[in-house]
Amino acid sequence: MRRLYFVSRDGQILYKIAKIISEYITTPELHYLYGSRRAWYIPSLQSMPVDQALRSLIGTGKTVHEALILAGLTISEIDLFINKGKSKESDSRISNDLINNLLSNTHFCSVLSKHISESAESAKKYLKQNNLYKTKKWSLVDSGWFLNCQTYLYNILSSTGWKGRVTGFYLGLGGCVPSHKVSGKAYIFFDDRKHSLPLQKYHLLVEHVLLPADHSSVIGYVTTKGIAKPVFHTKNIDPDSAAYANHLHSLALQATRESAESGLLFDKIEAYQNLALTNLTRFLKRPSPSETMALAYLPVQFSHTSTAQCYITTLVTPLNMQTVQKILTQLLRFHKESIRIPWPEGSASILPQPFRYMTLKILSLLRFLQCHITLLFPLAKKHNSNNELNS
């Protein structure tokens, strides 16, 4: 590999660590690439027929309003096509009749295609500015999980005739990633099959607690005076979140430099890795009340492709009978539901004893079942995989 592209936000702290490592050993070129699932999703639809693009846009549980806003349509355009100038969110619930009516409207198809095309052109220009088209010997670096970013990026690049194959290095992957022919090869650092910790099940914590960034998500690109620049979800992120990210970054970089200078990072990497994984397992599965409360109010974004605020919540949810029932449903489900409890173990850790101990034990058992149940029920695995990809 001649070049590594660290995908923004989750890749920011990894990029900073790699920059320090590059002072001590020879590495490929290191670049920070502003992108995300949301930024690359709409441009990846350009090669699809408009009917297929619209049906892809409308995911489970989304309104047509939300899907079209994601595609770049304005409120006035959406009202014109759906509600005849009257903004009624309830009128835009997903139905086959509504979708067919939209697709039969040539003006709507033209407007949707125009927005997708404009989004794709800006994305391609940004990628070209960062030399992704010049050589095939580069790879992404990101947190991983379902390879959506890599798949969308490959679709964008291949739509221009690029003959390369995107590859990526990731912390972990879920059990339902696309085939190599669809997304390209992916290499993982943390293999769930070799460890007792199902890291992918904690992916929200890994992204928000271990891989925070000091800027908001990239939602697209805009071209101004011939230069494509990223567009961010918000101009500034929450001050507490930014302070937490900067503090964690400084600690990680200090530890990296000290480890590199002592030789520990290179000479004893296996022992170093095992120690880190032991600490990570303990933190995720058995957090102390003080650790939980220090992170309780960090905002967690469940979906980078959604425009709805309901996808953002806090890391810890106070437990009562209703939330306990939701946790049990969440951990034993065969399909994806809209349950917003990102860290059950953290929520349980602030319970008084003996409820804390009992709840954590039950959660540990349920995590074990969640990790191994697809081995016992292949049909459940197939059904769950399809829903994860749709999500």
CA-wise closest residue to 71 among 93, 37, 38: 38
Q: Is the pLDDT at 170 greater than 60, yes or no?
A: yes
Query: At which residue do the structure tokens 């009978």 appear?
Result: 321
* This prediction's pTM: 0.86
63-67-69-75 Cα dihedral, nearest 10 degrees? -40
pLDDT confidence of residue 60: 53
Query: At which residue do the structure tokens 């960034």 appear?
Result: 213
pLDDT confidence of residue 61: 57
What is the mean pLDDT of the segment spanning 147-159? 92
Q: Is the pLDDT at 193 greater than 70, yes or no?
A: no
pLDDT in tens, 332-373: 664 444 456 788 888 888 888 888 888 888 888 877 776 665
Bridge pairing between strands 138-145 and 29-33? unpaired
Query: Could you tell me what percentage of the chain is helix, strand and coil, using 3-state DSSP and rounding each to the nearest 5?
Result: 55, 10, 35
pLDDT in tens, 292-306: 998 888 888 776 666
pLDDT-above-90 percentage for the chain: 38
Taking the C-alpha atoms of residue 112 and residue 106, their distance in angstroms, rounded to an integer, is 10
pLDDT confidence of residue 277: 84
Contact 128, 156 (CB under 8 A): no
Taking the C-alpha atoms of residue 115 and residue 72, their distance in angstroms, rounded to an integer, is 6
Residue 181's pLDDT band, with cuts at 50, 70 and 90, is confident
